[in-house]
Amino acid sequence: MNRLEHPIQTKDSAPLRSGTFTSNRGLQMEEGLIFEIGRPEVTGVDLDEPAPFESRLGGLEREAPIGLPGLSEPETVRHYVRLSQKNYSIDAGLFPLGSCTMKHNPRLNEAMARLPGFADIHPLQPQSTVQGALELIDELARWLMEMTGTVAVALSPKAGAHGEACGMMAIKAAIEAKGEGATRRVVLVPESAHGTNPASASLIGFEVRAIPAQADGAVDLEELKGRLGPEVAAIMLTNPNTCGLFETQVIEIAEAMHAAGAYFYCDGANFNAIVGKARPGDLGVDAMHINLHKTFSTPHGGGGPGAGPVVLSARLAPFAPVPFLRANEAGLRLVEHGSEEPQSFGRIAAFHGQMGMFVRALTYMASHGADGLRQASEDAVLSANYIRASLSDLMSQPFGDQPCMHEVLFDDSWLKPTGLTTLDFAKAMIDEGYHPMTIYFPHVAHGAMLIEPTESESKATLDLFIATMRDLAAAALGGDTERFIGAPFYAPRRRLDETRAARNPILKWTQPTPQ
């Protein structure tokens, strides 16, 4: 194939700056779309045409061309390998994306998830043929309940946001069971919360009210108490919160909610900071989702799949969605229908949850053990504080210099005199070989920079990162704005025009019209 037939430049764009004939730069290969390099008659899968037979399609044959190109296996492998080389990954370097927990993904997890006994079993096989799978789910549930100090777990949520919706549905069902469904309709959400929290509450019909943070980044207990009343259903609180701080008044918050007849939903996105150090159930939490892809290191996979089991307090356990496990003399049994458990609020996904992720998470847990899990939390918190202590003289923190949990939050006030933005700073980090930290979140910090190193980094890696950040900060403050404004210079692409993408959305490839 001659790739020059498929110029990657758009018609109205400036000439390429790259000096090579191919536009490649060493190991950085330009790569066309499968629609540009493939052909509909090519296939990379050898299959034998079936013997003639009488079709039973009832006249519904598809006749028009579908429009799917094919590639041979070598071409397919090369295409995706070339694409992969344009991605940053935790395997390649420090990925300090705050709130996302980019820790190492042990390969044993992958190997275990691919055992045929887990990967090649069907969710609707007779339950007598999948007792090992049910045992694994039961064991995972045991670990999650012990770590969180709760009594039940709903395993079917497929990601964190799905878990939030699940937990809030359990709360709604509990409220309705008490006959308060018509009146308790308000959910309180701190301004610092992930956007998924208000979106999840709103999805299932709650009215969302924001509560402001106080000067130290925590929820204002008195402000909260002032907003409680018979219309309040729950609070959705992230703890440790998105500023990387533990809500010190969490017990008082829980007591206030319960005294007002409301529930405490905890966003467990940051549970990785406190595993083995404190249990959310002991703090008064009624429901909390756990991002298995964060705390328990099932890989992020470029955006999924995740898994978001929800642990539940005794007050909410009866309302858990199907399916769930029951033990009897014949072994473990999946309860798949609400008719067996009338208080169950229903079903939120077709099957039993993200089994592939359960295997990975349990593998991770069993590898660490109770001692290793606690050590992981301690190392994560230690590493974040090490970065904080090493950068706090140069970069500003919105809530003052105080110990953080697993992530440290800076704002952009220290950058003000330079005229540079958080985005500029982040893009310059790319040139230095780092994935930027989380930027512009949480919204309570102006130009937020949220750094989460995780427990997976060696001290040498942390020291080089700190030295790089200090060099960048010194350059910014010293007026070397060139290094930032045009960045990144060395990535597979320079800064991309997001406004253009949104103004005239091109969401799929279309055959170019002949000139």
Partner 1 sequence: MRYLPLTQDDRIDMLARIGAPDIDALFASIPESKRLRQNLDLPQRKTEIEVQRLLSNMAAKNVVAGSAPFFIGAGAYRHHIPASVDHLIQRSEFMTSYTPYQPEIAQGTLQAIFEFQTQVAALTAMDVANASMYDGSTATIEAVLMAHRITKRRKAVLSGGLHPHYAEVVRTISRMTGDDVASLPPDVLAQENLAGQIDSDVSCVVVQTPDVFGNLRDVSALSAMCKAKGALLIVVFTEAVSLGLIKAPGEMGADIAVGEGQSIGNSLNFGGPYVGLFAARSKYLRQMPGRLCGETIDADGRRGFVLTLSTREQHIKREKATSNICTNSGLCCLAFSIHLTLLGEAGLKRLARINHANAVDLAGRLARVGGVEVLNKSFFNEFTIRIHGDAAEVIERLAEKGVLGGVPASRLSPGQGLDDLIIVASSELNTDEDRAALAATLQGVF
CB nearer partner 1, residue 131 or residue 417: 131
Burial label for 6, CB within 10 Å (0-12, 13-18, 19+), is middle
State the minimum distance, in angstroms, from the CB of residue 506 to partner 1: 4
CB nearer partner 1, residue 31 or residue 412: 31
Reading the block at residue 114, the tokens are: 């691919």
State the minimum distance, in angstroms, from the CB of residue 428 to partner 1: 12
Tokens 């939050």 correspond to 409
Kind of pairing between the strands at 287-289 and 331-335: unpaired
State the minimum distance, in angstroms, from the CB of residue 296 to partner 1: 12
State the minimum distance, in angstroms, from the CB of residue 417 to partner 1: 25
CA distance 271 to 279: 9
State the minimum distance, in angstroms, from the CB of residue 65 to partner 1: 7
Cα distances (angstroms) measured from residue 287 to each of 235, 247, 250, 260, 504: 11, 17, 14, 17, 42
CA distance 368 to 364: 6
CB nearer partner 1, residue 65 or residue 478: 65
Q: Residue 338 — φ and ψ, nearest 5°? A: -60, -20
State the minimum distance, in angstroms, from the CB of residue 226 to partner 1: 21
CA distance 189 to 212: 9
For residue 62, give the DSSP letter: -
CA distance 440 to 131: 47
State the minimum distance, in angstroms, from the CB of residue 340 to partner 1: 9
CB nearer partner 1, residue 309 or residue 412: 309
CB nearer partner 1, residue 38 or residue 268: 38
Q: Which residue in 407, 387, 418, 411 sits closest to 397, CA to CA?
A: 411
Q: What is the CA radius of gyration of the chain?
A: 26
State the minimum distance, in angstroms, from the CB of residue 316 to partner 1: 15
CB nearer partner 1, residue 310 or residue 416: 310
Angle, CA of 281, 277 and 102, to the nearest 5°: 100
CB nearer partner 1, residue 291 or residue 418: 291
State the minimum distance, in angstroms, from the CB of residue 467 to partner 1: 13
- Amino acid at position 433, single letter: G
CB nearer partner 1, residue 128 or residue 515: 128
Instruction: Return all residues near 285 (Cβ < 8 A) that are at least 6 apart.
Output: 148, 150, 254, 264, 265, 266, 313
β-sheet bridge partners, residue 311: 153, 288
β-sheet bridge partners, residue 236: 265
CB nearer partner 1, residue 261 or residue 372: 372
